[in-house]
C-alpha cells in the first residue's frame, strides 16, 4: 500500500506522548494533577511535536494500582476533573493537531466495581459469570505477575466460598471475556469514549485478555476472537480508531495479535523485543543484539505498526532476555537491589542508568526516532527526568513533571503532593522545562528537533528496514526505504570514535545526503558514504534523489 493511498492511517507517522494526568500539572492546588492543568500544557506538547496524547487511566478508581483498578469504566476520577474537562482537553488538542487516546483496561476491574460487588453477594448473582470462579485452586495455576507482592493468582472469597481468578493484584478480579455479556459491555465502553472524542486506545496486557482460563482445570488457551470483535466494533464506530496493544511476547507469538487478512486485531504493538535487545546492546557497547532483533521482525500488513519506546510507565522489563543476558543489563544499569523489581526488570529512568552521559542519552533518543515505527515518549523523557527510588515498586518512575526550578507542578506545599518529587541531581533544581526551553542546546530542544524531523520524514514510519554494513564494530547503520523516500540512521554504541564507511547500494546519479539535524548536504563518492563519528555519535540522513523537493 502506498502512503498516499492510506492517508487515514495516522498512527503510522505519529509521535505519541504518554502521561499520567495526576502527575502532570495541578491546576486547583490540591496536590494532584488534573485535566484542567493538562489543558494549560497542550501548547507545550504541540511545540514539542506530539501528534497523539496517550492518557494513562483517568477512570473512577480506589487508587490502589495507579488507576488501573477501575471502579467505573464510564466515570472520571473526581480528583482529575469531569467529563467536561476531558472534552476541553480533546478539543484543545484537536485544534493543535493532536489526537487523544485512552488506556483501555479489559483484563479486570477493581473489586469495588459494582459488577464484582454484586457478583460476590451470591453465586446466583446475574454478574457472577462476569468473573472467573473455582471451588479449588487449580493444580497448574500460573505464577503471579508480581512476585513478592502477591502469593498467587487465586483469592478466596469467604462470602460465597469460592476462589476468584486475578492475573494481577488480588483486588483486581479477572473479567470473564468468554461471557458474551462481558464482551458487549466492553464494546459499550469503547463506543462511549469514541463518542466523547478519543481516537483510540492503548490496550493493557493483551495476552492476559485473550487467554481463556478454565476455573476447574486452570488451563488456558489463546482466543483472539474477542480482540477481533472489539477492533471491528471500534472501526465501525470511528474510521480513525486505533488500538495500540501491550503484548510482551516473542515476535513469532506477537504477530498473531496483529491478526490476519480479514481478521484484523491490533493496529499497533509496542516492540518489546527490540526494546530489551537495545539495553543488552547498550550494556555491551555492541548493536549486535538489537540488529538481531530488528532483522527478526515479522513482516506486517501495511496498516500495522510497531511502537518504538525507550522507557514506559512500568518497570523496564527484561523477561525476554536469558538469565545471563538480564544479569548483564542489571550489572550495567541497575546493580543495586533497589534498582530492580520482580526479578525481571529495572525501576529506573534512562538518564540515571546512563550515569547522566548526555552523549549516550541523545544517541538513544536519536535511534528511537530513526527506527521504522512510531516513537512513544513517556512524560519527562524530553527533559531527562530521573526516578525516585524512595517510592515503592515501578511507581518510582511516575513522579510529578518538573516545570521549573521549584518543581512548578503544584502551588500546594510538597507535604500535600500526591507523589513526592524526584530529588538530587535529577530533581527540578537541575532538570526542568523552564531552563531547557530557553537553552537551544538542551535535551528538550534536541528531542523537539527529533520529533519535528520525524514527522517530516514519512519514510521512517512507512519504510522497509535494511541494515547496512558500517565497516567497523560498535555502529548500527540502517535505512528505511519507502515510495516517498529513503532515510539512513547511523548510531554508535561505542565509547570511542569510529570511522564509518557504508555503501548506499543502487541509487541514481546525482544523489545527495541531507543531515536532518542542521540541513547540511554532501554527496557520496560512487555510492559510498564515509563519516567520522564521535563516541556515541549519531547522524540522521535523508537520501535526496534528483527532483526531490521536500523540505529539509
Sign of CA dihedral 22, 23, 29, 31: positive
Domain ranges of the chain: 114-165, 463-544
Cell digits of residue 33: 494533577
Cell digits of residue 24: 502532570
Identify the CA nearest to 84 among candidates 142, 18, 39, 138.
39
Give 440's contacts (C-beta < 8 A, 6+ positions apart).
none
* CATH of the domain spanning 114-165: 3.90.400.10
Please state, in angstroms and rounded to a whole number, the distance separating the CA atoms of residues 290 and 276: 8
Neighbours of 525 (CB within 10 A): 8
- Model pTM score: 0.96
Sign of CA dihedral 111, 203, 131, 221: negative
E strand spans, 21-150: 52-55, 99-104, 133-134
Total length of the chain:
552
Q: DSSP for 168-203?
A: S-TTSPBB-TTSHHHHHHHHHHHHHHHHHT--EEEE
Is 95 catalytic? The answer is no
- Which residue among 155, 204, 314, 382 is the active-site one? 204
pLDDT tens digits for the chain (552 residues)? 444 444 589 999 999 999 999 999 999 999 999 999 999 999 999 999 999 999 999 999 999 999 999 999 999 999 999 999 999 999 999 999 999 999 999 999 999 999 999 999 999 999 999 999 999 998 888 888 888 888 899 999 999 999 999 999 999 999 999 899 999 999 999 999 999 999 999 999 999 888 654 544 444 456 788 899 999 999 999 999 999 999 999 999 999 999 987 688 999 999 999 999 999 999 999 999 999 999 999 999 999 999 999 999 999 999 999 999 999 999 999 999 999 999 999 999 999 999 999 999 999 999 999 999 999 999 999 999 999 999 999 999 999 999 999 999 999 999 999 999 999 999 999 999 999 999 999 999 999 999 999 999 999 999 999 999 999 999 999 999 998 899 999 999 999 999 999 999 988 788 899 999 999 999 998 889 999 999 999 999 999 988 776 655
Is 246 catalytic? The answer is yes
Q: DSSP for 26-52?
A: -SSSSSS--HHHHHTTHHHHHHHT--E
What integer pLDDT is reported at residue 263 of this predicted model? 80
Pick the CATH number of 463-544 from 3.40.50.970, 2.60.40.1180, 3.20.20.150, 1.10.10.10: 2.60.40.1180
What integer pLDDT is reported at residue 222 of this predicted model? 60
Please state, in angstroms and rounded to a whole number, the distance separating the CA atoms of residues 498 and 350: 24
Sign of CA dihedral 333, 336, 339, 345: positive
- Which residue among 246, 315, 387, 459 is the active-site one? 246
Please state, in angstroms and rounded to a whole number, the distance separating the CA atoms of residues 296 and 389: 35
Amino acid at each position: 500500500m502506498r502512503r498516499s493511498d492510506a492517508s487515514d492511517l495516522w498512527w503510522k507517522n505519529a509521535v505519541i506522548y504518554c502521561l499520567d494526568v495526576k502527575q502532570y500539572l495541578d491546576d486547583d492546588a490540591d496536590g494532584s494533577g488534573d485535566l484542567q492543568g493538562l489543558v494549560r500544557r497542550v501548547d507545550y506538547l504541540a511545540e514539542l511535536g506530539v501528534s497523539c496524547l496517550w492518557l494513562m487511566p483517568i477512570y473512577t478508581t480506589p487508587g490502589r494500582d495507579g488507576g488501573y483498578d477501575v471502579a467505573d469504566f464510564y466515570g472520571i476520577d473526581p480528583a482529575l476533573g469531569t467529563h467536561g474537562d476531558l472534552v476541553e482537553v480533546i478539543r484543545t488538542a484537536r485544534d493543535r493537531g493532536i489526537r487523544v487516546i485512552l488506556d483501555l483496561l479489559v483484563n479486570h476491574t477493581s473489586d469495588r466495581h459494582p459488577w464484582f460487588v454484586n457478583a460476590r453477594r451470591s453465586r446466583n448473582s446475574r454478574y457472577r459469570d462476569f468473573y472467573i470462579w473455582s471451588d479449588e485452586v487449580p493444580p497448574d495455576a500460573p505464577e503471579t505477575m508480581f512476585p513478592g507482592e502477591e502469593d498467587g493468582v487465586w483469592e478466596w472469597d469467604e462470602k460465597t466460598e469460592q476462589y476468584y481468578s486475578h492475573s494481577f493484584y488480588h483486588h483486581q478480579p479477572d473479567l470473564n471475556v468468554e461471557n458474551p455479556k462481558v464482551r458487549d459491555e466492553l464494546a459499550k465502553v469503547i463506543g462511549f469514549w469514541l463518542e466523547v472524542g478519543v481516537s483510540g486506545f492503548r490496550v493493557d496486557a493483551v495476552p492476559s485478555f485473550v487467554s481463556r482460563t478454565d476455573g476447574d482445570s486452570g488451563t488456558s488457551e489463546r482466543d483472539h476472537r474477542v480482540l477481533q470483535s472489539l477492533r471491528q466494533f471500534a472501526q465501525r464506530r470511528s474510521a480513525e480508531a486505533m488500538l495500540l496493544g501491550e503484548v510482551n511476547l516473542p515476535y513469532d507469538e506477537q504477530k498473531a495479535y496483529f491478526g490476519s487478512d480479514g481478521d484484523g486485531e491490533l493496529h499497533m504493538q509496542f516492540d518489546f523485543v527490540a526494546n530489551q535487545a537495545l539495553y543488552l546492546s547498550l550494556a555491551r557497547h555492541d548493536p549486535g543484539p538489537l540488529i538481531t532483533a530488528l532483522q527478526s521482525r515479522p513482516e506486517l500488513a501495511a496498516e500495522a505498526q510497531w511502537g518504538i519506546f525507550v522507557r514506559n510507565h512500568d518497570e523496564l522489563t527484561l523477561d525476554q532476555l536469558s538469565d545471563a543476558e538480564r544479569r548483564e543489563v542489571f550489572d550495567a544499569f541497575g546493580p543495586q537491589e533497589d534498582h530492580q523489581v520482580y526479578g525481571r526488570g529495572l525501576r529506573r529512568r534512562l538518564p540515571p542508568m546512563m550515569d547522566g552521559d548526555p552523549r549516550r542519552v541523545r544517541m538513544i533518543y536519536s535511534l528511537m526516532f530513526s527506527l521504522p515505527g512510531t516513537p512513544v515518549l513517556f512524560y519527562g523523557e524530553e527533559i531527562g527526568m530521573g526516578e525516585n527510588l524512595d517510592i515503592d515498586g515501578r511507581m518510582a518512575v511516575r513522579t510529578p513533571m518538573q516545570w521549573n526550578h521549584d518543581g512548578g507542578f503544584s502551588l500546594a506545599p510538597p507535604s500535600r503532593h500526591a507523589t513526592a518529587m524526584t530529588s538530587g541531581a535529577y530533581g527540578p533544581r537541575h532538570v526542568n522545562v523552564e531552563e531547557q526551553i530557553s537553552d537551544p542546546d538542551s535535551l528538550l530542544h534536541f528531542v523537539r528537533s527529533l520529533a519535528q524531523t520525524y514527522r517530516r520524514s514519512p519514510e521512517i514510519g512507512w519504510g522497509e528496514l535494511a541494515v547496512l554494513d558500517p565497516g567497523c564494530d560498535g555502529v548500527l547503520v540502517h535505512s528505511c526505504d519507502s515510495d516517498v523516500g529513503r532515510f539512513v540512521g547511523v548510531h554508535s554504541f561505542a565509547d570511542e570514535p569510529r570511522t564509518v564507511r557504508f555503501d548506499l547500494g543502487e541509487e541514481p546519479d546525482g544523489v545527495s545526503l541531507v543531515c536532518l539535524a542542521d540541513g547540511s548536504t554532501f554527496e557520496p563518492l560512487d555510492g559510498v558514504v564515509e563519516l567520522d563519528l564521535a563516541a556515541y555519535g549519531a547522524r540522521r540522513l535523508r537520501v535526496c534523489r534528483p527532483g526531490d523537493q521536500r523540505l529539509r
